[in-house]
């Protein structure tokens, strides 16, 4: 009897565990399906309110009580006037592009959202940072910015750090292009590089076969033996892309001597201004402060919601990071 009791208890625990595990798996499947259909989220932040709040907080400490009361009265009066006379808007976007230009997916949604509500006298500021990347990705990103101009909105691009190659392809589309004094600007050029392992394969008696239809379906390869004709064709393709890049810049900035700057070089902001690559030297902070005097500023951001797999991945990496930190801290203790 005692054996049967223990066996029954064991069986009950096992069944409970299996049921619990099954429920967890069902919840995971349901959540993953839900995440597949979940779209991203557009967030709007009132930058003008944030700037006004920062100013108020600082003055509450810097001014005496009487002076601060006067300031508050003045602000209340301005607030009433603001309610009667609505300001035009400045929509602020932030684009920090990588080599693959995947950020263009969010940019296109942000631009579309703005175009649905923007009025003729509104402006768009793009805080841009990118060292360039794939041609098709940055070409699309530049086209997204061009949509704003085509809609009659003034487009201002502000660069604090770098707008090179594909980054400059985007920035030059603007009506006004400002940058910080030491921002890196330019790199109107094209580069492509890849390793070739053909000699290594031959050395180890490894054959590589590649079958194509069309003389130049594949000009250069990583594993096959490259030919002079293939290299020449590949170089021609790069030159063609470079020519399109130059035409794009010349169309966007007609006064610019493109042949002088389309060498693949980059210039710091102050020199870029002399070359005609930018219109003014100004940080994004000063730009927004100046615009805040006449406009209401709104930061527009589109973010894709993270799926379950992403969340689980983040959770696992966090645990591994903590374990690594503990191991490293222990090793340091041993050495010291």
Residue positions annotated with a catalytic role = 165, 217
Q: How many CB atoms within 10 Å of residue 238? A: 13
Task: Give the separation between CA 111 and CA 124, rounded to whole angstroms.
Answer: 9
Parallel, antiparallel, or unpaired for β 154-159 and 176-179?
parallel
Query: Count H helices, E strands: the chain?
Result: 12, 10
Q: CB under 8 Å to 215, separation ≥6 — which residues?
A: none
Q: Considering only CA atoms, give the Rg of the chain.
A: 29
At which residue do the structure tokens 């930018």 appear? 278
Nearest to 153 by CA among 101, 96, 95, 93: 93
CB burial readout 153-188, b (16+ within 10 A) else e: bbbbbbbbbbbbbbbbbbbbbbebbbbbeebbbbbb
**Torsion angle (degrees, nearest 10) of CA 8, 12, 14, 17:** -170
> Residue 184 in contact with residue 178, Cβ under 8 Å?
no
Backbone angles phi, psi at 300, to 5 degrees: -110, 125
User: What tokens does 44 get?
Assistant: 């709007």
> Residue 124 in contact with residue 91, Cβ under 8 Å?
yes
């Amino acid at each position: 009897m005692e054996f049967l009791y223990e066996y029954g208890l064991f069986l009950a625990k096992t069944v409970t565990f299996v049921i619990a595990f099954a429920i967890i798996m069902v919840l995971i499947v349901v959540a993953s399906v839900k995440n597949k259909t979940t779209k991203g989220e557009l967030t709007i932040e009132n930058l003008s309110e944030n700037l006004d709040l920062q100013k108020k907080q600082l003055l509450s400490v810097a001014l005496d009580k009487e002076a601060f009361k006067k300031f508050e009265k003045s602000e209340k009066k301005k607030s009433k006037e603001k309610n009667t006379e609505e300001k035009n808007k400045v929509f602020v976007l932030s684009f920090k592009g990588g080599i693959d230009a995947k950020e263009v997916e969010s940019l296109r949604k942000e631009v579309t959202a703005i175009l649905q509500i923007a009025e003729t006298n509104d402006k768009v500021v793009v805080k841009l940072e990118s060292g360039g990347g794939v041609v098709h990705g940055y070409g699309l990103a530049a086209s997204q910015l061009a949509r704003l101009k085509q809609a009659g909105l003034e487009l201002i691009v502000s660069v604090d750090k770098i707008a090179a190659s594909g980054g400059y392809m985007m920035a030059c589309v603007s009506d006004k292009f400002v940058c910080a004094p030491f921002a890196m600007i330019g790199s109107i050029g094209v580069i492509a590089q890849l390793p070739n392992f053909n000699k290594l394969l031959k050395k180890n008696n490894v054959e590589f076969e590649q079958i194509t239809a069309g003389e130049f379906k594949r000009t250069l390869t990583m594993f096959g033996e490259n030919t002079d004709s293939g290299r020449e064709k590949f170089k021609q393709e790069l030159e063609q892309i470079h020519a399109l890049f130059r035409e794009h810049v010349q169309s966007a900035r007609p006064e610019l001597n493109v042949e002088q700057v389309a060498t693949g070089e980059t210039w710091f902001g102050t020199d870029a201004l002399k070359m005609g690559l930018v219109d003014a030297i100004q940080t994004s902070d000063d730009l927004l402060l100046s615009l805040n005097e006449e406009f209401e500023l709104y930061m527009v951001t589109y973010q894709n919601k993270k799926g379950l797999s992403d969340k689980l991945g983040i959770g696992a990496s966090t645990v591994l990071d903590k374990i690594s930190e503990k191991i490293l801290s222990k090793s340091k203790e041993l050495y010291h």
